[in-house]
Amino acid sequence: MGGEDKEIAEERSMVVDISLKDLSKKLEEFAKARDWEKYHSPRNLLLLCHICQYANVDDEQVGEVGELSEIFQWKGEVGRGLPNWEESDKEHLGEELSDVLLYLIRLSDICGIDLGLAASKKLLKNAIKYPPTSSSYSL
């Protein structure tokens, strides 16, 4: 088994429960191994996530969020758990969600932001800003 095949096999066998810090480290190693760090500026990573670019009329390139949006474009409202979706459609959705997540983690790392900590702080701010109403229930 070649070095890259071994790396892929190890990735497939890794535990599903992985921290944002672990993902960040894996992304950094991935970029370094391919000499992509020079392209990973905050601006470039953000553009990869978001913006539609047109190289020419026949060659549309869509950012990762655009690719994610395309999956839902003609589906209308979709129920929780994606009832009636084919497994292949769910797998495709998982891939596109992962692309967005990985770019956001890489962007936060390049910017020196602890995304896990920032998300926790944001949840706390939102809890204060939007307290539960008396009609809300808790588990």
CATH of the domain at 69: 1.10.287.1080
Look at residues 26, 15, 39 and name the one whose alpha carbon lies nearest to residue 105.
Answer: 26
- CA distances 134 to 6, 128, 130, 137, 138, Å, are 55, 15, 12, 8, 11
The pTM (predicted TM-score) of the whole model is 0.70
Give the whole-angstrom CA distance, residue 101 versus residue 119.
13
Residue 24 lies in a domain: no
Predicted pLDDT of residue 51? 59
Angle at 109 between CA 103 and CA 115, to 5 degrees: 85
Look at residues 25, 22, 49, 44 and name the one whose alpha carbon lies nearest to residue 103.
Answer: 49
pLDDT digits (tens, 9 = 90+) for 70-119: 888 888 888 889 998 999 999 999 998 998 899 899 999 999 999 999 99
Residue 22 lies in a domain: no
Q: How many domains does the chain have?
A: 1
Instruction: Please give the residue range of the domain that contains residue 59.
Output: 40-76+83-133
Residue 98 lies in a domain: yes
